[in-house]
Amino acid sequence: GLILLFHWIGFANTEVKVSSQRHVLKAIIIMLIANAFILLVNQILFRERPFVSNDVNLLFYMPTDSSFPSNACAGSIGLALGFYSRIWTKTFVSIFTLAALMSLSRIYVGIHYPGDILGGFIISIISYYIGNYIWCQTKSIQLRTLKLLENLNIA
């Protein structure tokens, strides 16, 4: 969240700021698409979490939703993929690394099976391609939205 906030307000150069804010919008679009896929899959499939089926020393709260696919993985990797470009390579690598570590840690703490994380990762990749298509088709809308937000002192 802080990385997104920094990329929303952290640049003085107008050209860099607009590029950065567009990538924040792209990341949010991809995350929302991933969450919509998760919601759809959860309506069809329900998988108990590892701490329910196995004797696990739970280090976290007890979620009650489906374990498969991992919403946390799909959302966080989706956010990282929003910055996948030649310009924002360091940002992408930073967010992706944090998202991957967070996703893997959810296996360690007994909240997900490895397949849940893989499912979330696959959903985030699919969401990236859909989100990227939407992002490329809506450039004029994005720029008008950013201009409106700038006039409201939000961007």
Tell me the pLDDT tens digit for each residue of 7-50: 888 877 888 888 888 889 899 999 999 999 999 999 999 998 88
Is residue 24 a part of any domain in this protein? no
Q: pTM to 2 decimals? A: 0.84
pLDDT at residue number 124: 96
Is residue 28 a part of any domain in this protein? no
Distance CA 94, CA 128 (A): 17
Is residue 43 a part of any domain in this protein? yes
Is residue 25 a part of any domain in this protein? no
DSSP-based helix, strand, coil % in the chain, nearest 5: 70, 0, 30
Is residue 106 a part of any domain in this protein? yes
Burial class from Cβ neighbours inside 10 Å (0-12, 13-18, 19+) for residue 134 reads middle
**Mean pLDDT along residues 58-66:** 79
Structural domains of the chain, count: 1
Higher pLDDT, 63 or 24: 24
Q: Which residue has the tokens 């969401």?
A: 127
**Mean pLDDT along residues 114-135:** 95
What Rg, from alpha-carbon coordinates, does the chain have? 17
Q: Which domain, by its residues, includes 96?
A: 2-19+35-52+66-151
